Amino acid sequence: MFTHDLKPLVRRLLLAGAFSIGASACAFAQSASDTRIGVGTPVTKAELSKYFAIPPDGTGLPAGSGTPSEGRVVFMDNCAICHGDKLQGNPKPGFGGDRLIGGRGTLATNAPVKTVESYWPYATTLFDYVKRAMPFSAPGSLTDDQVYSVVAFILAQGHIIKPDATMNAKTLPKVQMPNRNGFVPDPRPELSLYH
C-alpha cells in the first residue's frame, strides 16, 4: 500500500528531473551559439549568386545574350541526348528527357502534353530552370550566354519567338508564352501570408 502511493510522487520527480535536464541543455546550447568558435567564413556575393530564382518580370536575370542559331549548337552538344534532336523527348531508360515543344491545346484533353510550348507560362521560368538544373549530367555548368541561347532555340522551335530573335535580360521577360493566361489564381487565403 505504501509503494502504491509513491508512484505519483516518483512520476512527478522523474518529470521534474527530465524538465531540469532539458532546460539545462537548452541554456547550454544558447550560450554555445552566442560564442564564436572561429569555424567557417562569411558567404561572398559570388557564392550567394549561385542560389537564385528568376521571377516572371526577369528581376535578377544576368548579363549575356543568345540566339536560336547559337542555341542549336549548345542544345545538340548538351541537351539532345535526353530531349532528342528535334526536341521530341527521349523515352530511352537512363536518357528519359521530356518533350519540349508541341502539345498546344492538349492540356484540357484526356491526353495532355506538357511542354515548354503548351504549359510554361513565363519564358523567364525556362531560363531559371535551364540555368540551375540543366544539363542533367552537369547542372549549372552552362554559361549565361549558353543558357540564353538554348532558351532562344527552344522558344524558336516552338514558334514562340522569331528564328532570328536575340534573348537577353530585356527581351526574355517580354516573351508572351502561349499558355500565359492558362493558369488561374490560387484562392486560398493563407497564401497572402507569404507575400
For every residue of the chain, which 3-state class applies, written as one string? Answer: CHHHHHHHHHHHHHHHHHHHHHHHHHHHHHHHHCCCCCCCCCCCHHHHCCCCCCCCCCCCCCCCEECHHHHHHHHHHHCHHHHCCCCCCCCCCCCCCCCCCCCCCCCCCCCCCCCCCCCCCCHHHHHHHHHHHCCCCCCCCCCHHHHHHHHHHHHHHCCCCCCCCCEECCCHHHCCCCCCCCCCCCCCHHHHHHC
Give the pLDDT of residue 7.
65
Tell me, yes or no, whether 30 and 78 share the same domain. no
Q: Would you state the pLDDT for residue 88?
A: 94
97 and 163 assigned to the same domain:
yes
pLDDT at 1: 47
Q: Are residues 99 and 129 in the same domain?
A: yes
Answer whether 0.75 is exceeded by the pTM. no
Are 9 and 97 part of one and the same domain?
no
How many structural domains is the chain composed of? Answer: 2
Q: Which domain holds residue 15?
A: 1-40
Q: Do residues 84 and 162 both lie within one domain? A: yes
Averaged over successive runs of 10 residues, the pLDDT of the chain (195 residues) comes to: 57 61 56 61 78 88 97 97 93 81 92 94 96 92 97 98 98 96 80 60
